[in-house]
Amino acid sequence: MKRNYQKELDSLLRGLDGKAPLLLLHACCAPCSSYVLEYLSEYFQITLFYYNPNISPLTEYKKRMEEVKRLISELPVKYPVRFQEGTYDAERFFALAKGHEQEPEGGERCFACYALRLEEAAQAANAGGFDYFTTTLSISPYKNAEKLNEIGSALEKKYGVRYLPSDFKKRNGYKRSIELSAQYNLYRQDYCGCVFSKAERDRRLKVKNFST
């Protein structure tokens, strides 16, 4: 039976009963973090974990990170949000992408990319004594929420930290992230992050420019 991650999350949030557990929230960028922080900071003490060795080039990685930090400093939240940067170990990403370089976004390379980032988050959550971990990634219409939740559930068992089931694009989450991005004037990148998605973006632009 198909799982309804939003309903699972609703039920979990009801069960918190006013307590504010510690959540390690993996985040890829400020626009995706905006709605998720607005939503979850009502319920959790959040540490935002920026672990994205997939992002190329390094200047882009840093630019996205600075926007995340600015968002945290400007967004009004019930419980203060902390920030933690992971390691920019880009060679780990390139090793897992090997043989999948030409695949379009949404395939096996992306699933391995989700797993890399979620596993690092699960490890950090375990090491930091967090109650839960999850990721902002499911807010994007281009990301596979089923796969993300499948990976998260497996890591929950492996590392003994609960995974917060989620599909943040539901309940107009994606729409709200666009509104918040405009409100806070957030930098919205036009490619997912890796060098392969950047090349895909460049090809798209070339075709567009050629046909106009």
Residues 176-195 that bind ligand SF4 (CB under 6 A): 192-194
What is the nearest approach in angstroms of ligand SF4 to the Cβ of residue 84? 20
- Tokens read off for 186: 């957030």
Stretch that binds ligand SF4, among 8-16, 17-25, 37-45, 103-111 (CB under 6 A): 103-111
72-75 — which CB contacts under 8 Å span 24+ positions?
72/37, 72/48, 74/184, 75/34, 75/37, 75/38, 75/41, 75/180, 75/184
The count of residues interacting with ligand SF4 (CB under 6 A) is 10
Contact 85, 121 (CB under 8 A): no
28 annotated to a ligand binding site: yes
- Can you say whether residue 41 is alpha, beta or left, with left for phi > 0 and alpha for psi between -120 and 50 degrees? alpha
R_g over Cα of the chain: 17
Q: From CA 150, how far away is CA 96, in angstroms rounded? A: 19
What is the nearest approach in angstroms of ligand SF4 to the Cβ of residue 79? 29
110 annotated to a ligand binding site: yes
C-beta neighbour count of 171 within 10 angstroms = 14
Q: Is 31 or 193 the residue whose CB approaches ligand SF4 more closely?
A: 193
Stretch that binds ligand SF4, among 30-38, 64-72, 84-92, 105-113 (CB under 6 A): 105-113
192 annotated to a ligand binding site: no
Q: Which of 54, 123, 134, 138 binds ligand SF4 (CB under 6 A)?
A: 54
Q: From CA 203, how far away is CA 191, in angstroms rounded? A: 11
Q: Which of 8, 105, 119, 150 binds ligand SF4 (CB under 6 A)?
A: 105
32 annotated to a ligand binding site: no
User: In sequence order, what are the beta bridge partners of 49?
Assistant: 26, 84
Q: Which of 32, 110, 139, 145 binds ligand SF4 (CB under 6 A)?
A: 110
Question: Which residues are documented as binding site for [4Fe-4S] cluster?
Answer: 28-29, 110, 113
Interface ranges with ligand SF4 (CB under 6 A) = 54, 105, 109-110, 113, 192-194, 196-197
